[in-house]
Structure 1
Amino acid sequence: MLTAESRLRDFPPLREMAYFNTAAEGVSPLAVRDAFLEYFEHKQRGMDGRVPHFAALDETKALVARFYGLTTDEVAICSCSSEAYNLAAMALRLREGDEVVVNDLDFPAGVTPWLQKESPATVKVWRSRGGALRTEDLIPLLSPKTRLVTTSLVSFYNGYRLPLAPVRDAVRRHSSALFSVDVTQALGRIPLELDDVDLIVSSTHKWILASHGGGLVGVRSQRAAELTAPAGGWYHLQDAFGANRFDEAISRPGAPSFAVGMPNFPAIYAIRAGLRYIESAGVDAIDAHARPLTEGLLHEIKKFPVELLTPTDVPPAGIIAFRHPKADEIHRQLLAEQIHVMSHAGRLRIAVHGYNTPADVDRLLRTLTTALRSV
């Protein structure tokens, strides 16, 4: 991933294209393809295949636990981050008068469960200024009524990287709320320090280069009683087939309650392969490689006639975003040169990962310069 040889060996499509859209969809290494084939070989064994299936699940949970800084008992795998947040909403059992704090830089998955009309809680929006979330703006939103503060470590929208420690400290000092952090746009790209975070959530098809169909959930054991999802099913229940199975259903506490139903084993094999790959490259090494590319790109884009959305007063993670009235035309010109970024509603978003190179960045900047002159 970090050398010309490994990049072309593991990611053959990158021979032709400059790919800067990992914040939407990662390019998987061939190891993930091999993982799907391994799953299929095990599936052909019928019921005997469940032995390696569950072994793969155990190993994947151990990998997630290492990345999150938790124990394997504190992690679970569900189908996607949206499911994780909906299960969290069930677990909280919110009532009238409860309050949930969200922010305007967050992805809908972590915001919308509390906005459904069936949710009795009052939602307070922590609003950004200059593309950044300021801790001093959060504090007035916190009170004894606050049940949850939820945020992303890195914003999907503009790449803003939250200074986690002061935000966490403010939540602890001014409320007794649960603190939830989505690391979808950080896991696999930057080192994580998630001390004293109660709920951790991530998707699996972006920076860890795995597949769709997974949601990585971490629940710190100290808050397991408050984050136990009362969902139906079987796999996550304490005794789904016991003598009292028609009298009661009791979820296993904490993270295991988020693993509702049969595990999605094809995705689990892919997640294991993706996390193994990231771990073998080393997140510190990935960040050391990609950070100067991101910083150099940000420095040059600041000179362009665009509305920069990414704040420059905090270190960037892996995402740079800007607006331009002709964003769609600029995007078409980039695609014509096999340069992949995201374009949505006038916003262009560039994501830099370990498989990007200085040559990719130069190619992007040259094409952007030409496109901006022509539109």
Structure 2
Amino acid sequence: MSQMAPTHRLSNESYWNGKAYLNTAAEGLPLQSCVDAVQQYLMAKSHGEPGREEFWKAYERAQQGAARLFSVAADQIALISSTTEALNTIAHSIDWRPGDEVVFTSSEFPSNIFPWVALQSRGVKLRIAHPGPDGISVDDLLSQINDRTRLVTVSQVSYATGEHLNPEPLWRRVQETSALLCVDATQAAGRVPVDGRMADFTVASAFKWMNSIHGAAIMSVSRRALEADLLGPAGWLSAESCFADDRLETFHPRADGQRFQAGMPNFDSICSLAAALDFHTPEAVQERAAHLAPLVSQLRASLVAMGLTPLVPKSPARQAGIVPFAYESSAEMKRQLAERGIFVQGDDRRIRAALHWYNTQEDVEQYLEALRDLLDSSKAPATRLENSSV
């Protein structure tokens, strides 16, 4: 693993000496600055109510850092607990009518599937785009949008295939309609540039590529979504004033992004997020993405040379940090790799490696050498997934 300056090093960095951690897409390794920020939170918490001043300072810092990362204004940002919370908040904020339609892809993480599947009981129809040999077709997604579409929701980077999707054509299309666009950037934010100006909602959890801890996620909201009739959750923080004179008769929602944030923030996680966003600036993300791009392409090409079936598209423009391949005995392969100090994801009949700023050429070579040895010893076939959603 690469070494960083003391102010931006990994927590417990020495633990990873000689090992290859290639599983950031499941769980990012925390920065030491994030661990320090949680300790500072606990100290402020021990001061009781006066400690809240420090909490809200960290909140504002995280909000501003999130706004920079997503290229939006700070008042468009809400800091919620998770991507799943954000997607469910969006689902419950829209006044659905029977016959309304939601467009998404079959390669979404379940958090971006279940809220829409559940809406079918209310008469909402689903339009689902499936990947072809070259991944998701943007033209296919665009063709699904019609005058009944209320929401299009896609991942910028697929957790399953690693495909990097440019949301700009979808954004241009929905702007001609009343449909809203949601981009799940959980597998993108902190790894590749994310532009919150290209969607009505852009959401991302912080515990993966942003190297923070659980309990905080970023949600940006477009101006047109804020001007639409979307109620959001009803709570003291989402209210224009929680002590309004008419609060027993009427709920007045906020006019900014915090309309979608009901109550007390997870300040411990937000303190960590603020520290993480000091490290993951837009400029740093862009630089690291460019630096790692050849390594990602090299890893994919090496898998092909070994007779494996990568799920991420060949085009570098369609790649980010995730490089998975189909493999029937993936759970066993994951276990065997872990025994050799190599950590990847191995669920759903695929092996998924994820390359982040702390990964090196040596990590990739260690992984590939272990794969060759294990494949030679097992002679197990590495086949394309049959009848799969991806």
| Separation (CA, whole Å) in 2 of partners of 1:86 and 1:132 | 27
2:359 aligns with one of 340, 356, 359: 356
1:8/1:15 contact within 8 Å kept: no
Q: Give the drift of 1:314.
A: 4.6
Structure 1 residues 1-375: aligned runs within 5 Å: 3=3, 11-116=13-118, 117-130=120-133, 132-173=135-176, 175-226=177-228, 228-279=230-281, 282-315=284-317, 316-375=319-378
Distance 2:229 2:30 in 1: 32
CA distance in 2, matches of 1:140, 1:285: 35
Instruction: Please report how far the alpha carbon of residue 118 of structure 1 lies from its aligned counterpart in structure 2 after TM superposition.
Output: 4.2
1:113 and 1:280, CA in 2 relative to 1: closer, same or farther beyond 3 A?
closer
Most deviating of 362-371 and 157-166: 157-166
Aligned in 2, Cα 1:158/1:96: closer, same or farther, shift over 3 Å?
same
Measure, in 2, the Cα distance between the counterparts of 1:118 and 1:58.
39
Distance 1:131 1:213, change over 3 A: farther
Query: SS of 1:38's equivalent?
Result: helix
Quickly say closer, same or farther: Cα 1:339–1:8, change in 2 above 3 A.
Answer: farther
> C-alpha distance in 2, partners of 1:206/1:295?
21
CA deviations over 1:333-357 (Å, ceiling 9, x no partner): 2101110000002111110000001
- Once the two structures are TM-superposed, the CA of residue 254 in structure 1 deviates from its matched residue by 4.7
Q: Do the aligned partners of residues 79 and 193 (structure 1) sit closer, same or farther apart at CA in structure 2, a change above 3 Å counting? A: closer
- Matches of 1:75 and 1:5 in 2, distance apart? 30
Q: How many Å separate the matches in 1 of 2:2 and 2:75?
A: 33
- Separation of aligned partners in 2, 1:321 and 1:185: 13
Aligned with 2:35: secondary structure? helix
> What is the percent sequence identity of the aligned residues?
30
RMSD value over aligned CA atoms? 2.0
Letter in 2 for 1:193: D
Give distance in 2, aligned partners of 1:110 and 1:261.
Answer: 23
Q: Aligned partners of 2:132 and 2:311: how far apart in 1?
A: 11
1:62 Cα offset (Å):
0.3
Q: Report the number of matched residues.
A: 374
Tell me which moved more, 54-63 or 280-289: 280-289
User: Any stretches of 5+ residues in structure 1 without a counterpart?
Assistant: none
**Cα distance change, pair 5–32 in 1 and its aligned pair in 2 (3 A):** closer
Of 337-346 and 164-173, the range deviating more from structure 2: 164-173
Q: Secondary structure at the match of 1:100?
A: strand
Alpha-carbon distance between aligned partners in 2 of 1:224 and 1:5, rounded to the nearest angstrom: 41
Task: Tell me how far 1:50 sits from its aligned partner.
Answer: 0.5
Distance 1:215 1:9 in 2: 20
1:59: how far off? 0.7
Question: Which amino acid counterpart does residue 345 of structure 1 have in structure 2?
Answer: D
SS in 1 for 2:323: strand
> Are the counterparts in 1 of residues 156 and 185 from structure 2 also a CA contact under 8 Å?
yes
TM normalised by structure 2 equals 0.90
The SS at the match of 2:363 is helix
In 1, the alpha carbon distance for the partners of 2:295 and 2:339 equals 23
Q: Structure 1 counterpart of 2:40, which letter?
A: E
Instruction: Give the SS at the match of 2:128.
Output: strand
Shift of 1:242: 2.4
CA deviation map 1:89-140 (0-9, x unaligned):
1221111121111111111212221211444321111221125111221233
Contact kept, 8 Å, 2:207 with 2:213, in 1: the verdict is yes
Moved more, 283-292 or 99-108: 283-292
Amino acid at match of 1:139: L
How does the TM-score come out when normalised to structure 1?
Answer: 0.94
Q: Is the 8 A contact 1:135 1:170 kept in 2?
A: no
Separation in 2 of the partners of 1:30 and 1:170? 42
Q: Distance in 2 between matches of 1:8 and 1:88?
A: 36
Alpha-carbon contact 1:237-1:252 (below 8 Å) kept: yes
Query: For the residues of structure 1 that align with 2:94 and 2:105, how far apart are their CA atoms?
Result: 19
Segments of 4+ moved more than 6 angstroms: none
Query: How far apart, CA to CA, are the structure 2 residues paired with 1:28 and 1:9?
Result: 6
Aligned CA distance change for structure 1 residues 258 and 4 (closer, same or farther; 3 Å): closer
Whether the 8 Å contact between 1:102 and 1:126 is mirrored in structure 2 is yes
1: CA distance, partners of 2:23 / 2:53 = 36
**What SS does the corresponding residue of 2:292 show, helix, strand or coil?**
helix
